[in-house]
Amino acid sequence: MFKINPVIQWRWEGDKVLLNTMLGMNRVAGEVLELCQTCSTIDDVVTKMVEKYPGVLHEKMYNDTNKIIQLFLQREILIPEGETGGFVFTPFFMQYIDSFFNNQLNAPVRVGCEITSACNARCMHCYASFSPDSDELTTEEWKRIIDQLHGLHVFGVSFTGGEPLLRSDVEDIVLYAHKKGMRATLATNGSLLTKERIERLKKAGIDAIMLSLDGATPEVHDRFRGIDGLFEKVISTIEYLVKEGIDIGILTTISRLNIQEIPAIMGLVDKLGAPRLALMRFIMAGRAVENKLLEPSPHEYIELLTRIYEKEKELKTTSLLYPDLPAIFYDKSIGLDHYENLKVKGAIELCGAGITTCAISPTGDVKPCDLSGDVSMGNLREVPLKDIWDNSEVFKKLRTLGKKDQKPCNACILNEICLTGCKALPSQVGDNGDMYAADPTYAQCFAVFQEGSENV
């Protein structure tokens, strides 16, 4: 006997089904899945399917249904009665969303909710301001937005800022999303994450907490974040969260301040027992543009990738998300075979802006990504999210924008295998942006490595 894994959610996309694991399935598989809500054996499901399709021979129906159910069991979509299942995420899912759904989803899969622009840190790379906007969405307005997301069958919400814990109602908003059945995560610098606050978030139903760690030493981390003593606070908080069994992820932004400490950060996170570490490149948005000198050079990134690859072999607990960097950087460090393997495993971050995700600003403006800056595709105080999602010209363009469209990367011989970076930065989707322009890091790559060009 089996049951549907409690962590599994799904929604219909026309005649297809999309799961929150980012796996898609055809109509028949979707029908089998829905029957598994009330049926606990293959025979029960087959009986219902035969009733639905009386013209199909019983033997064929049994064989076809059995294949589907075995796949469900393999993917832990179904689990044996009495057991608890895991969450088997579909790696390299953006390629899958493109090929199976043609990048046309009825709604985002996950939405970033910037609940405040206020922040008590002074991070050198951040896109958010330091002060709260005078017209930020109220608690009730956020709840109405969550109602919209729930109605669209959005699977998850990420509460960010600014520093979201500066809002006293964050637990109330998290609880509301949790009661709607959405996976709720929170991204924080950790400065306000006391044991009491953690307990309140836990009771509210928070699914995961994402903490920023940008150095292996207080000197580097605190300088980058602009808060003295923050490093020790973050380390003790990670220890406490691990001890309490709360799911956590660590976010590290690579810069010239910490590039020599990245392997040490990896070792520290692994020693602390955190299950996930995401290494993010220095992205040209927000204050990163003002602090451009902190962006590592292509050659510095290449040298770092080799060190990351070697250090990863020593990790015992922590799984690693590699930085989204040009394919040539990987080619010149760990090699294209390893790059392709990382992509297949889902170990490199992918851009889903306007395709699987979008973001909502503290004042209700909808944009493709939290890195898109002050752009607005529409405001939720005036227009429903569904209308914006379906009708925004920027969103429509992001869903059709191919690698061959982005300059100068479209002239690179590695264009077909390269992930080509961000597509919704202010320089691309802003008022004076160019959606055909490549991510600045990738454009710089092309300028440095002319051997990657078909024109040379």
Statement to judge: residues 30 and 151 lie in one domain: no
**Confidence tier at 127 by pLDDT (50, 70, 90):** low
CA–CA distance, 204 with 183 (Å, rounded to integer): 12
The DSSP H or E segment spanning 204 is helix 195-204
Total domains in the fold of the chain: 2
Residue 1, helix vs strand vs coil: coil
Closest CA to 367 of 399, 395, 387, 402: 395
User: Where is average pLDDT lowest: 64-78, 96-110, 123-137, 391-405?
Assistant: 123-137
pLDDT at residue number 131: 65
Q: Is the pLDDT of residue 287 over 60?
A: yes
Mean pLDDT within 291-300: 90
CA–CA distance, 43 with 52 (Å, rounded to integer): 14
Q: Can you read off the two tokens belonging to residue 408?
A: 């100068």
Q: Which residues of 248-265 are buried (b: 16+ CB within 10 A; e: fewer)?
A: bbbbbbbbebbbebbbeb
Residue 109, helix vs strand vs coil: coil
**Confidence tier at 84 by pLDDT (50, 70, 90):** confident
pLDDT at residue number 125: 72
Statement to judge: residues 58 and 112 lie in one domain: no
CA–CA distance, 115 with 360 (Å, rounded to integer): 8
Region label for 358, one of left (φ > 0), alpha (ψ between -120 and 50) or beta (otherwise): beta
**CA angle, corner 91, sides to 89 and 92, nearest 5?**
145
Range of the domain at 260: 93-360
The CATH number of the domain holding residue 13 is 3.90.930
Closest CA to 1 of 83, 86, 80, 68: 80
Q: Is the pLDDT of residue 409 over 70?
A: yes
pLDDT, mean over the chain: 94
109 in a structural domain: yes
pLDDT tens-digit readout, 209-236: 999 999 999 999 999 899 999 999 999 9
Statement to judge: residues 49 and 173 lie in one domain: no
432 in a structural domain: no
Looking at residue 235, its amino acid is: I
353 in a structural domain: yes
Statement to judge: residues 72 and 175 lie in one domain: no
Mean pLDDT within 349-366: 96
Mean pLDDT within 81-85: 88
Residue 300, helix vs strand vs coil: helix
Statement to judge: residues 193 and 69 lie in one domain: no
